Every structure is written in C-alpha cells, then in structure tokens.
Chain A
Amino acid sequence: AQTVTQSQPEMSVQEAETVTLSCTYDTSENNYYLFWYKQPPSRQMILVIRQEAYKQQNATENRFSVNFQKAAKSFSLKISDSQLGDTAMYFCAFMKPNTGNQFYFGTGTSLTVIP
C-alpha cells in the first residue's frame, strides 16, 4: 500500500505571509498523481492543486504552488499571500491510476492564518 506522510500536524502563518506545508510519500510506481485538498470548518473537501508525476514542471494555481521532487518523493504546498479564508485542514493525497483510482490521504496539517 502507498503511504503518505504529513509531518506537520499544525501550522500557523500571519496574514499576507507565505507558508509551506510538507508532504512525502512512498511508492515504487513511476506513473501517479498527487493532490492537495483543503477542508475548511464547513468540512467540505475542496481540491486545491493537482500534479502529474510525469510532468517535471511544478503545478501552480493562483496563490498556490507545489514543489514536486520526484526523486525525493516530496510534494510540498506553498501558499503565498495567505488569507484568513485559507484557514483549514490540508490533506495531501496520492493516486495510482487504473487500480480503482483510490486515493491515499496523509494525516493532514491544520493551518491557521492569523490576522
């Protein structure tokens, strides 16, 4: 089974500052997908960003970007210009295609943006 590790249970950042959430994973696969999901207090899971393992270029979505290091099996999320609405649990997820498309989630990082 794949394992996904998020080593930071809780983090905080000042509003407008930048924060990086770490994620590492363990797999022997070469083709896979990585995701970051956000779960605010409303509990809905919201897709933040997605990365294909075969792409060397790091994915970006507005204020959110990733640092994907395939050899190191690392997939960190950088949030720039943090906003109060970014306060949420953030989950890193791994998916290996064509095997039921199951997601393997990390344990999550609780991020608090401080005004």
Chain B
Amino acid sequence: GAVVSQHPSRVICKSGTSVKIECRSLDFQATTMFWYRQFPKQSLMLMATSNEGSKATYEQGVEKDKFLINHASLTLSTLTVTSAHPEDSSFYICSARAGGAGGPQHFGDGTRLSIL
C-alpha cells in the first residue's frame, strides 16, 4: 500500500528556533500533499495544501510566513515553522493522496513539536 514517511517524529527546541518537518511519499508520486495540525483530543485541522511546483494554498487564519511550505518534488513536501514559540507546540501531520479521483489520503506518523 501507499506509504507516507514523516520526519522527525519528535522535536523539542528552544523558542525562536526554526523547525523543518519533512513529508515523503515512498512508493508513489504525490502532486498534492496536505499539512494538518492536531491539538490534544481534537480533530485534524487543515493548515495548507501543498502543490508540487507551485505555491501552497493556506487555510484562513494560518500565517503563510510562519508556516513555510515547499513542495519541490513529487515525493517531498516540507513544512518549516519559523521562529517557533510555545504556542506553536502541537502535533503536525502530513498526508498525500494516491490514485485517481476519490483516492484516500495516506498519512504520515506525525511530528510532535514542543517549544520550550
């Protein structure tokens, strides 16, 4: 089946640091990837849609300068949390869609980001 790899799984860093999270589709090409944020015991909140070779589409209320997305190839999208602060601490999950119309999204294992 389609596999999505997300790295790192856990990051702990100081306030003001920029953190990069990678999302890779291992056995399929993904022209579109998605980045979600999940607070404890809550649902996934879509942050942005990452499109290969073009700018990401951000959801309302998500700061594009804070959460930089790059989708330079058909198998890799990166999310960089710039100048992270404690309120950015959260669980971040990426997904990629395989197959044609109506295909399911396949999710990475997520990244637990903790900003001290």
Q: Which residues of chain A have a CB within 8 Å of any CB of chain B?
A: 33, 35, 37, 42-47, 50, 52, 91, 95, 97-98, 100-103, 105-108, 110
Contacts and interface: CB of A to CB of B under 8 A. Distances in A.
Contacts of B46: 102-103
Interface in B90-116: 91, 93, 95, 97, 101-110, 112
27 contacts: A35-B104, A42-B109, A43-B91, A43-B93, A43-B109, A43-B112, A44-B107, A44-B108, A45-B93, A46-B107, A47-B104, A50-B104, A95-B102, A97-B101, A98-B101, A100-B32, A100-B49, A101-B97, A101-B103, A102-B34, A103-B34, A103-B105, A105-B43, A106-B43, A107-B42, A108-B41, A108-B42
Given A44-B109, A101-B32, A91 B44 contact: yes
A105 B49 contact: no
B102 A102 contact: no
Interface string B32-50: 1010000001111010010
Contacts of A105: 43-44
Place the interface of chain B in its size category.
20 to 34
A33 B105 contact: no
Contacts of B43: 91, 105-108
Contacts of B44: 45, 91, 103, 105
A107 B103 CA distance: 22
A33 B42 contact: no
Nearest to A92: B43
A42 B6 CA distance: 14
Contacts of B106: 47
A47 B104 CA distance: 8
